[in-house]
Structure 1
Amino acid sequence: MNFPLHRSSAPLAHLTPALWRRANRHLLAKAIAEFSHELLLAPQAVSRGEGWALYRLETPQSEYRFPARRLALDHWLIDAARIERRVGDAPAEPDALAFIVECRDLLGLSQDVLPVYLDEISSTLYGAAFKLQRERLPAPALALADYQALESGMTEGHPVFVANNGRIGFSDRDYAAWAPECGKATPIIWLAATKRLAEFSHVDGLDHARLMREELGEGTVARFEAVLAAQGLDPADYWFLPVHPWQWHHRLAMAFAADLAEARLVFLGQSEDLYAPQQSVRTLYNLSRPDRRYVKTALSILNMGFMRGLSPYYMSGTPAINQWLHALIHNDATLCACGFDILREEAAIGYRQPYYEAALAGNGPHKKQLAALWRESPASRLGPGERLMTMAALLHIDADGLALLPSLIYASGLSTEAWLRRYLEAYLRPLLHCFYQYDLVFMPHGENLILILDRHMPARVLMKDIAEEIGLVDRANAPPGAMERIYTHVPDELRTLWLLTDVFDCFFRFLAAILHEQGHFPETLFWAEVAGCVQRYQADTPHLADKFARYDLFAPTFTRSCLNRLQLANNRQMVNLADPSQGLQFHGTLENPIARFRPGAA
């Protein structure tokens, strides 16, 4: 079997003036658009045309002029190729790093945050230039490609965050090996951890021995047990756990040297299977055996506002949370009718390093360096003729500016309205039901959803990243014991933001813009389809009428929640994960694009 490898022998071949300028223009357009959306910047219109207007933005050092279109939810569509910059009376090339420095006061960047944010912008530009340089499938071909080609073919990252590919801690070689866009296939590392300091948890019917047989095979299990026996150690005293190679080389081999010297941890060797990083860079997909589980590992790099470790405390309750949610979904007629399901995190392991445990209060990054979980593979969920696609692909735009979504809709043979209706029934309807029936919320952005397509049409969706990103907003529904941690206190007036911000503003806003610009489908029609999905769900569940009134998705406006402001304020720990609703950044309101479609409205 052949796997895609990083082709270039020159790791910096993409850092050319032409590619760097293109990357800068793209990121600058996004920065102006999203910072203006969050009311950090206020470009002024100087002339208007049909649909478009020419805007001017002044910073302390430069003046920028650019054409832009304003769409619903205060969305800015900016033509990156036509951005003009002047410094004094002279024209100057747009420069995203210079722009951040010029706007540091407008953006509220402190001296502590600014240097790291510049590092994140530099890394994002580095990755953008690489994606422009690497030969990639054009959007019409990528729309029809297989799952892993889509995973490595994505170019943007999170649509809202400007510094969305920071990955602080990766070297150029690490980037080539472990960035998903590089598509490299590599083995992972396995350790044995003493049961005295490691906790293994699992769903019913799965134990460590069975898991290892299924994930490693009998031969590799025997090889690892022989490594322990050769050192006079009893395999029965240890759990096996997978480790990201970056984490081993850059953190564990040194920081956990005492554990290795005292055989609390034992190096077992590399996997025989080859893995590829996913859009969630610390999640690894088994290329050799796609039927085997995903492996998610701790990865102590700074990316998009967090150190990407894994908490051993959270791992202990992860399988139980997944088992509880799986049972809830499969016992609910509405969710089953939608085909909605989750990829269960079936087992998890966390190692508690004794020195950090004794020295440090709280659950900080140093306590999240050695943990892993195993998540179901979606390969087993496919029927005849079906295929998988990350939902992030619906927002993909290729290097020539072509969007993937119109090509996907065209290939399906459906009208845009019919395709959207299928998509919304598969994606939005189950989210509505989880919220209104069970007070249950997720982080349902593009990378966290996998679409199952049947002849290029949405059939159903699979949700992943459950235990870290699930929330119950009503304590009365919280499961008992350790699983109660999924309860999060959210005031009534903010509860609909889980849908209005996370779905409408952070995903549909961009989807609507793509269809408006390239799909010959005006945004008003898009939002009418969204409203229609909500209306159909409410008509089908009249017993929830009181909650529909209490948490009104058709309200004229809603609070503007600003994600970039979070990162600009603290790019090492944006929010408290134990209580994510606290510390959010709210500024002004947004007009609700489905308000005009309220049932009964004239």
Structure 2
Amino acid sequence: MTAQPTTADERCIRHLAPHHWRAADAALVAKMLSEFSHEGLLDPEHEHRLRYRLVSDDGQTVYRFAARRFALYHWHIEPDDIERLCDGAHLPLDAAALLIDFRERLGMSDAVLSLYLEEIASTRYSAAFKRATARMSAADFVNADFQAVEAAMTEGHPAFVANNGRIGFSGTDFAAYAPEAAAPIRLVWVAGHRSRLSFAVADDRTVADHLAGELDQCTRARFDETLTARGLSPADYHYMPVHPWQWQHKLVFAFADEIASGHLVHLGFAPNAYQAQQSVRTLFNHDVPSRCYVKMSLSILNMGFSRGLSPYYMGGTPAICDWLADLVANDTYLQDKGFSILREVAAVGYRHPRFDAGLPPGDGANKMLSALWRESPVTRLGQGESLMTMAALLHRDTEGRAVIAALIEAAGEGVQPWLDAWLDAYLGPILHCFYAHDLVFMPHGENLILVMRDHKVDRVIMKDIAEEIAVMNPEADLPERVSRIAVPVPDEVRTLSIFTDLFDLIFRYVAPILELQCDFPEHRFWQRVAQAIARYQQAHPELAEKFAAYDLFAPRFTRSCLNRLQLANNRQMLDLADPTASLQFHGHLDNPVAALTQRAVSA
């Protein structure tokens, strides 16, 4: 019998081998037990020593597991240490079944559970693919290419359980556009009539200059000819990129009237191949790495949001980035630390007249056609330097070995010097922006790029600026085009930008890795954090009143819960007009540096 070629339908399930699925399922169950317990959604009963148990809502199923407890109510649970039992018989670990077992305690409505089960299935689908295609050990990351690291990431967000939902992708779309697939992506380009479309650029360029840097002249001439052949004038249009998924699944239908009227004109593909980044809708120019990243509307549902881009925000994006870049360039402390940002140097947004007139700006229909360009970090490298997403520090390979441990071993100077270099480059600038400028970012791993030298962190680069930045002072004296980032934030919430975003969502995971894989006790890690804070405070006595008002050595802080947020509404987690009001708080966490205050200050 003649062998039949493998079809796309078969390729998209090739990685769903039983052993990959079991491993992905068990790992997600371990994460669910850990993170749901951390947020107080589950309350494991202590049996003896390191053993704990949970009984399902109906009393029929028992989970027994070993857990190591760490600061910030962190539960370190390994998949092999979990049993699921019913009437004494062992059952396979199943992430979807766990949701059913504890549905009442998780507080899930029918609507939330229906979608969440789909998100959990998609997250496991992605995890099984990553296991089936894993080629890099933690040690391989040490000298790996920037984009090889980006594609090899396995965990997604460290706290969110359902972090790879990507509702809207087909199996073929996953293979074409998922970051872990690392397939080359060519962008669809369109011409938008200037009456519909706004194009903003940074102060150091014009629209023409910018497009000349991103598209070769032959491509621009071809686009001009496409318009001319239809009797249209190129002077009446701006060119913009569109994610190919967005074109096929959204725009050809939702913008059909605009296409028919000639306000939106399809131009075809540009030649450069791009690679999807961890955020999915941001792409890196693989063919010409010095060219900009491109971030585009991608109306899939992922981690509590439809991932569109607002055209109403695009107009101010380059101005906000210019303002921040100027602030950083003129701040001696930030310059001494080598801290920098990747500006979003151009942004374009198309307003469909019917959606614009009939729906609020925050509606997903008004976010279907926007794009921005972000500077590439590649041009900032010196001799002997390399780039790595900070999210890689928490990555563990299929043998459980963590990248941060491999980097420390490769650097060869021990844990403490490596940590101090990282904290000096990362924590120091974040503290300075907070105290000196009332300025906060979203400083999680995916938004930071590490510049590595001799396997140690030399400096950090912050990205994803305009949508995530805030000045926590509504009276701040800001240029008009930047004023939207000045927001009121209650005093009791301000320090959560450090406590939650750094302590709980980065450091909480680093400390156990160092203890378990590098023989570096957890208390010593938190001592290094306390020392870094104290060094900054001692160097800036002029900010003493702010240090007292926003005390990072306070005994405890409010626990802000991300999974509770997603379980409350997994279609729209936050009201973006007032995100603070949407946050989910549950109790408090003991501050692991509180008891180290005197020791840090006297050191």
Same topology, TM > 0.5: yes
Q: Are the aligned partners of 1:478 and 1:486 in contact in 2 as well (CA < 8 Å)?
A: no
- What is the DSSP-based 3-state SS (H/G/I as helix, E as strand, rest coil) of the residue aligned with 1:164? coil
Deviations 1:234-284 (A, max 9, x none): 001100000000000000011111111111000001010000100110000
Partner of 2:244: 245
Does residue 351 (structure 1) correspond to residue 376 (structure 2)? The answer is no
Task: Determine the C-alpha separation between the residues in 2 that align with 1:569 and 1:349.
Answer: 33
How far off its partner does 1:482 sit?
4.0
- What is the DSSP-based 3-state SS (H/G/I as helix, E as strand, rest coil) of the residue aligned with 2:573? coil
Task: Determine the C-alpha separation between the residues in 1 that align with 2:26 and 2:394.
Answer: 19
TM-align CA RMSD: 1.4
- 1:140-219 matches, cutoff 5 A: 140-219=139-218
Structure-2 change in CA distance of 1:290 and 1:421 (3 Å)? same
Structure-2 change in CA distance of 1:8 and 1:286 (3 Å)? farther
Task: Determine the C-alpha separation between the residues in 2 that align with 1:278 and 1:47.
Answer: 44
Does residue 543 (structure 1) correspond to residue 542 (structure 2)? The answer is yes
- What is the DSSP-based 3-state SS (H/G/I as helix, E as strand, rest coil) of the residue aligned with 1:327? helix
- What is the DSSP-based 3-state SS (H/G/I as helix, E as strand, rest coil) of the residue aligned with 1:302? strand
How far off its partner does 1:513 sit?
1.3
- What is the DSSP-based 3-state SS (H/G/I as helix, E as strand, rest coil) of the residue aligned with 2:185? coil
Deviations 1:365-417 (A, max 9, x none): 11000000000000111000100000000000011111111111111122110
How far off its partner does 1:17 sit?
1.6
Deviations 1:508-563 (A, max 9, x none): 10011111111111111111001110000000000000000000000010001101
Identity value in percent: 53
How far off its partner does 1:9 sit?
6.9
- What is the DSSP-based 3-state SS (H/G/I as helix, E as strand, rest coil) of the residue aligned with 1:458? strand
Question: Could you list the runs of 5+ residues in structure 2 that have no partner in the other structure?
Answer: 1-6
Task: Determine the C-alpha separation between the residues in 1 that align with 2:231 and 2:413.
Answer: 65
Q: Are the aligned partners of 2:319 and 2:481 in contact in 1 as well (CA < 8 Å)?
A: no
- 1:259-278 matches, cutoff 5 A: 259-278=258-277
Task: Determine the C-alpha separation between the residues in 2 that align with 1:329 and 1:578.
Answer: 27
Does residue 369 (structure 1) correspond to residue 368 (structure 2)? The answer is yes
Deviations 1:20-39 (A, max 9, x none): 11111100000010000000
Partner of 2:3: none
- 1:151-550 matches, cutoff 5 A: 151-477=150-476, 479-550=478-549
* Runs of 4 or more consecutive aligned structure 1 residues displaced over 4 Å after TM superposition: 6-9
TM-score (norm 2): 0.97
Q: Are the aligned partners of 1:143 and 1:405 in contact in 2 as well (CA < 8 Å)?
A: no
Task: Determine the C-alpha separation between the residues in 2 that align with 1:494 and 1:210.
Answer: 42
Task: Determine the C-alpha separation between the residues in 1 that align with 2:432 and 2:240.
Answer: 37
- What is the DSSP-based 3-state SS (H/G/I as helix, E as strand, rest coil) of the residue aligned with 1:300? strand
Does residue 33 (structure 1) correspond to residue 30 (structure 2)? The answer is no
Partner of 1:20: 21
Q: Are the aligned partners of 1:390 and 1:450 in contact in 2 as well (CA < 8 Å)?
A: yes
Q: What is the identity, as a one-letter code, of the residue corresponding to 2:411? A: S
How far off its partner does 1:8 sit?
11
TM-score (norm 1): 0.97
Q: Are the aligned partners of 2:323 and 2:482 in contact in 1 as well (CA < 8 Å)?
A: no
Partner of 2:4: none
Identify the range of structure 1 (442-451 vs 399-408) with the bigger mean alpha-carbon deviation.
399-408
Task: Determine the C-alpha separation between the residues in 1 that align with 2:149 and 2:577.
Answer: 33
Partner of 2:51: 54
Task: Determine the C-alpha separation between the residues in 1 that align with 2:546 and 2:359.
Answer: 43
Q: What is the identity, as a one-letter code, of the residue corresponding to 2:348? A: I
Q: Are the aligned partners of 1:85 and 1:94 in contact in 2 as well (CA < 8 Å)?
A: yes
Q: What is the identity, as a one-letter code, of the residue corresponding to 2:35? A: E
Task: Determine the C-alpha separation between the residues in 2 that align with 1:580 and 1:329.
Answer: 26
Aligned residue pairs total: 593
How far off its partner does 1:301 sit?
0.4
How far off its partner does 1:478 sit?
5.1
Identify the range of structure 1 (550-559 vs 572-581) with the bigger mean alpha-carbon deviation.
572-581
Q: What is the identity, as a one-letter code, of the residue corresponding to 1:33? A: S
Does residue 87 (structure 1) correspond to residue 86 (structure 2)? The answer is yes
Partner of 1:136: 135
How far off its partner does 1:424 sit?
0.5
Deviations 1:35-60 (A, max 9, x none): 00000000111110xxxx01101112
Q: Are the aligned partners of 2:320 and 2:481 in contact in 1 as well (CA < 8 Å)?
A: no
Task: Determine the C-alpha separation between the residues in 1 that align with 2:212 and 2:26.
Answer: 50
Q: Are the aligned partners of 1:535 and 1:599 in contact in 2 as well (CA < 8 Å)?
A: no
Deviations 1:541-598 (A, max 9, x none): 0000000000000001000110100000001111122222112111111010111111
How far off its partner does 1:359 sit?
1.7
Task: Determine the C-alpha separation between the residues in 1 that align with 2:275 and 2:100.
Answer: 36
- What is the DSSP-based 3-state SS (H/G/I as helix, E as strand, rest coil) of the residue aligned with 2:268? strand
Q: What is the identity, as a one-letter code, of the residue corresponding to 1:71? A: F
Q: Are the aligned partners of 2:177 and 2:183 in contact in 1 as well (CA < 8 Å)?
A: yes
Task: Determine the C-alpha separation between the residues in 1 that align with 2:43 and 2:461.
Answer: 39
Task: Determine the C-alpha separation between the residues in 1 that align with 2:8 and 2:449.
Answer: 28
- What is the DSSP-based 3-state SS (H/G/I as helix, E as strand, rest coil) of the residue aligned with 1:20? helix
How far off its partner does 1:201 sit?
0.4
Task: Determine the C-alpha separation between the residues in 2 that align with 1:478 and 1:11.
Answer: 53
